[in-house]
Amino acid sequence: MTMRTLPAAAALLAGLAFLPSLARAGDISCSMTFQLSGWSVFYKTATGSGTVTCSNGQSMHVKLRAKGGGLTFGKTRIDHGIGKFTGVDSIADIKGHYANAEAHAGAERSADAQVVTKGSVSLALSGKGKGWNLGIAFGAFIIE
């Protein structure tokens, strides 16, 4: 290498070192497996736990809470729930309060699917379980 090309090569290598920091927002895909159980009589409450795993190798155990109200009655348990996050830059983005609205109905065997949002982060939830429920509810889905 000549003395003229050495600074250019050094600048190129330095620029390549910063490429990972130029990744676009939301490039990390994260998913969650979870269990959740709760009840509702106008007021709805549920608690559970889960594990979030991201495409960059990060994972985190989380506590889950759902609360809200509406014209809702029942008792349910989701045993093998799955969640898919979008709009995530870092695993830390998944924690917080998500807004939710849902309509649900079930007798003995129950299924649930909903999408909750927090700013630019969304979470699509689905799961099967047991219980009985009927109603419409609004509230918060909280990941801690």
pLDDT tens-digit profile, the chain (144 residues)? 444 433 443 443 444 343 343 444 547 999 999 999 999 888 889 999 999 999 999 999 999 999 998 888 888 888 889 999 999 999 999 999 999 887 777 777 766 778 899 999 999 998 888 888 888 888 999 999
Residues 6+ apart with CB under 8 A from 86: 26, 29, 121, 122, 123, 124
- Among residues 22, 96, 26, 90, which one has the least CA distance to residue 59? 90
pTM, rounded to two decimals: 0.76
